[in-house]
């Protein structure tokens, strides 16, 4: 009887943690500072007279600051646990967003504020939430991670619409205040009441200790070929996927779409990302995850070509891009546990996440500069398609899983 009570309680806690993580990621920096920032670009350009390259450089700065803070996030989460790090970061992130309300016509201040965002929100990048979820699941790990990651899809669907509505009703400064309020009054309570960590009491403590100690150390992981294939693949993904999302609204507006229509396309991208998070999470529990990554990378390449040759099909392109971005971090979080176990999960994820955003910084700046040099986005889009096809080839070299389902200690048999 005692065992069944533990099982029911732990299953409930795992589900609650997944729900809280979904909400947290919906209004986290991955959405607000990266995927949903595109609607702000035209308004900021218009008010200050800055160029597209100058405004887009802020997102590159965010990407490079993520490179610096991601390994530190991994260390903090491994050391203190995800819940404490997440809860302490939420009010700081809200404060950073609110500060944009007082943005002067000064590029240095603009860049400085964006540089602070990844630091203030250090606990809110996906690693913290995904590690919290991964501690509760094994057999349904992919589905659980997909449901948590679906928060980024939810946010990418609704946050651009919220931003566009606030800008049209008020201005872009008020839009930042609105986002800050949502982070503080929606995310913090959801995380506080839902995100949990396995108990350290009675027999469950011993099981958790065994699971936490299962797998390779960080030093051992760096000797595995899979580690470097994952780093190369996610560097290439970073160069393309994020840069395309951040330029999606300006790209469509140049092709003749209105800002409102382009923002709706951005929302459809978010819906596709949401759909992909859950679908891919379910699929990779049953199909070899690198194969899934190969397919969506080819789809992303097709999206780039469509954007270049037939921008009227922006809805199709955005949905293909949403499938790509919806799959990538589901797959990464899943593969780290399958190839390396739990011992250094945070450190490994932090390093590969940093590599992704190092590539992202290059891609965001490169796509904006190619548009300035060549007069359109077409050249950059063709190059992005080539990079994604290269990524598809690279992931095909990933080996079979080292730690399959059922080969590691589990917190309970039903989760």
Residues 6+ apart with CB under 8 A from 349: 74, 127, 130, 131, 332, 333, 336
Neighbours of 286 (CB within 10 A): 8
pLDDT band at 11 (very low <50, low <70, confident <90, very high): confident
Question: What's the rounded Cα separation, in Å, for the pair 287 and 128?
Answer: 26
Q: Which residues contact 339 (CB under 8 A, 6 or more apart)?
A: 221, 224, 226, 227, 230, 401, 402, 403
pLDDT tens for each residue of 14-55: 889 999 999 999 999 989 988 778 789 889 999 999 987 888
Task: Give residues with Cβ within 8 angstroms of 219, minimum separation 6.
Answer: none
Q: Taking 80 as the threshold, does the pLDDT of residue 180 lie above it?
A: yes
Distance CA 394, CA 387 (A): 11
Most confident of 67-71, 93-97, 343-347: 93-97
Mean pLDDT in residue range 294-314: 90
- How many CB atoms within 10 Å of residue 77? 28
- Which of residues 412 and 76 earns the better pLDDT score? 76
Mean pLDDT in residue range 217-243: 90
Residue 410 reports pLDDT greater than 70? no
Which CATH topology does 7-197+215-395 take?
Growth Hormone; Chain: A; (1.20.1250)
What is the average pLDDT across 80-90?
92
Over residues 108-127, the pLDDT tens digits come to 999 999 999 999 999 998 88
Token reading at 97: 């967003």
Q: Where are the domains of the chain?
A: 7-197+215-395
Alpha helices in 284-313, H assignment, sequence order? 289-309
Give pTM, 2 decimals.
0.71
Dist CA 143 CA 281 (whole Å): 4
Burial of 316 (0-12, 13-18, 19+ CB in 10 A): middle
- Work out the mean pLDDT of the chain and round it to a whole number: 84
The pLDDT of residue 4: 42
- pLDDT level of residue 212 (50, 70, 90 thresholds): low
What are the Cα distances from residue 102, in Å, to 34, 98, 276?
21, 8, 37
């Amino acid at each position: 009887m005692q065992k069944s009570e533990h099982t029911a309680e732990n299953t409930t806690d795992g589900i609650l943690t997944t729900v809280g993580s979904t909400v947290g990621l919906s209004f986290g920096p991955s959405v607000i500072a990266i995927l949903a920032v595109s609607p702000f670009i035209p308004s900021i350009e218009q008010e200050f007279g800055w160029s597209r390259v100058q405004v887009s450089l802020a997102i590159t700065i965010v990407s490079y600051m993520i490179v610096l803070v991601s390994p530190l996030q991994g260390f903090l989460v491994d050391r203190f646990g995800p819940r404490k790090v997440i809860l302490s970061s939420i009010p700081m992130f809200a404060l950073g967003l609110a500060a944009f309300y007082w943005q002067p016509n000064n590029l240095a201040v603009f860049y400085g504020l964006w540089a602070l965002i990844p630091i203030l929100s250090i606990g809110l990048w996906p690693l913290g939430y995904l590690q919290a979820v991964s501690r509760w699941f094994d057999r349904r790990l992919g589905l659980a991670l997909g449901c948590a990651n679906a928060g980024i899809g939810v946010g990418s669907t609704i946050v651009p619409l919220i931003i566009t509505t606030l800008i049209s009703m008020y201005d872009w400064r008020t839009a930042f205040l609105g986002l800050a309020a949502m982070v503080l009054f929606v995310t913090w309570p959801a995380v506080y009441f839902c995100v949990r960590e396995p108990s350290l009491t009675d027999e469950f403590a011993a099981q958790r200790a065994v699971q936490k100690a299962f797998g390779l150390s960080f030093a051992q992981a760096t000797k595995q070929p899979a580690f470097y294939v994952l780093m190369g693949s996610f560097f290439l993904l970073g160069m393309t996927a994020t840069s395309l999302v951040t330029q999606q609204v300006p790209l469509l507006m140049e092709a003749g779409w209105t800002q409102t229509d382009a923002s709706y396309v951005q929302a459809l991208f978010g819906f596709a990302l949401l759909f992909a998070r859950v679908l891919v999470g379910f699929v990779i529990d049953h199909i070899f995850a690198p194969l899934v990554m190969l397919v969506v990378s080819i789809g992303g390449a097709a999206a780039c070509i469509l954007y270049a040759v037939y921008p009227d099909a922006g809805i199709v392109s955005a949905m293909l891009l949403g499938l790509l971005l919806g799959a990538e971090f589901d797959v990464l979080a899943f593969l780290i546990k399958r190839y390396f176990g739990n011992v250094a999960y945070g450190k490994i994820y932090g390093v590969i996440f940093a590599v992704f955003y190092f590539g992202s910084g290059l891609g965001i700046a490169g796509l904006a500069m190619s548009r300035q040099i060549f007069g359109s986005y077409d050249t950059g889009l063709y190059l992005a398609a080539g990079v994604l096809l290269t990524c598809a080839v690279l992931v095909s070299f990933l080996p079979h899983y080292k730690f399959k389902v059922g080969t590691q200690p589990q917190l309970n048999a039903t989760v």
